[in-house]
Chain A
C-alpha cells in the first residue's frame, strides 16, 4: 500500500513540475472563465430555437436548464476532486486504464476541435448575414482563429488576465439590450405555463447546448489555486450565465410577438436594430462587435484545452506550436466544409447531441469507476489489516 501511495505522490509531483502554471488562478478568474466559456454563439438565436417548443415559457426552460447544467457541473466537481492536481488528459488513463483512457482523451480532443469548427462556422454565418455580405468566409475564420491562437498559445495565467478584464464585454452586452424594454409587452408570455411541463423540459435541450462550456473545467480545474478551488465559483458563474440567458430570452419574448419570433433567427439583433437614439442608430452593430469578443473568449478557452490535450498526449511541455498547428488544421477543414445554412445546422446538431456524452456521460462513468476503485481499495486495505 505504502509503495502505491509513494508512487502516486511522485506522479503527482512530476505532474506539478511539468505544468508549472497549475494552482495559480484566483476565484474571480475562475468565475469569469466559466461565464465566458458558457456565453458564446448560442446567445443570438436561442429564443428563436426554443420558442417553437416551449412557446412563451421558454424562459422557464432556461432556468431549468441552468439547474441541469449545475448538476453536470457537480459531477465534474466531484470527479475533479478525485485527482486534484491533474487535468482530465492526465487522470483519464489512471482511472480508465491505459487504452481506454487514451481513447477518452482523443475523443475529447476531437470533441473540442469539432466544437471549435462549429463555433467558427456559426460566427461566420452570423457575420455574413449581418455585416460582411461579400467577404469570403475564410477571411473571417482566419481573423478570429488567429486572434484566439495569439492568446491561447500563452500560459493559462496570461489567458486568465485577459479573461478577468474581458468580462466587461459581457456586462456591456447586457447593458446595451436594456433600452429595448421600451417595447415591453408582458401579454406575449402570458399565460405562464401555456406550453405544458413536457414541452418546457423538452426545450431545455436547446438551452443546454447553448450553455455548454462548463465541461472545460475537466481540464482547467487544477489551474485554480487550491485555497480558491471552492464549489462556490462554479455555482456563481453558472448562476450568472443562467441569469443572463434568462434575461435575453425573456426580453426577446416580451418584445416580439410569438408570430414574429418564429420568423426571426436572431431576435435580439432585430430588437436592437429597431432602437433609435439621438446620436447613434443600429445598436445591433455594437452588440455584434461586443458579442464577437464573447465568441473569441469561447474559442480561446476551447483552443487552449485542445492544445493542452494534444501536448499532454505528445508529452510536450509547451503548447505554443501545437496551438498554431491546430489553427492551421482547422482553417483547412473550414475551407473545405460546405457553408450553407443547412449543413452548418446539421453539423451543429450532431456535435450538440454528442455533447451530452462529453459533458455528463463520460465524467459520470469516470466518477463511478474512480469511486468504485477507491471503495475496493479501502476494502482491500481493511482485509489486509
Chain B
C-alpha cells in the first residue's frame, strides 16, 4: 500500500489544470485523472483509491491497477506528487 501527497507548489484548478509554481510548468488532467488526483489530495492511500474507483466505475481491478501504476509514475516523474 502506497500513499502520496501533492506538493504545496502545485496549484490545481477545478478543471484539472495544474501549475507548478517552482518550475512554471503546466499540465492538464482529463476527467478521470482529475478525480484520482483529487483522491490523492485527500490523502487516500492506494487501497482507498482503488476502492473508490472500482465502486464507481465498471473496470476490473487488474486493469485499473495497471493503468493506475502508469498514471502514478507519470505524476511522480513530472513532480506533481510525492510518495510519503
Say if A and B assemble together: no
- Show the binding face of A for B, using Cβ within 8 Å: none
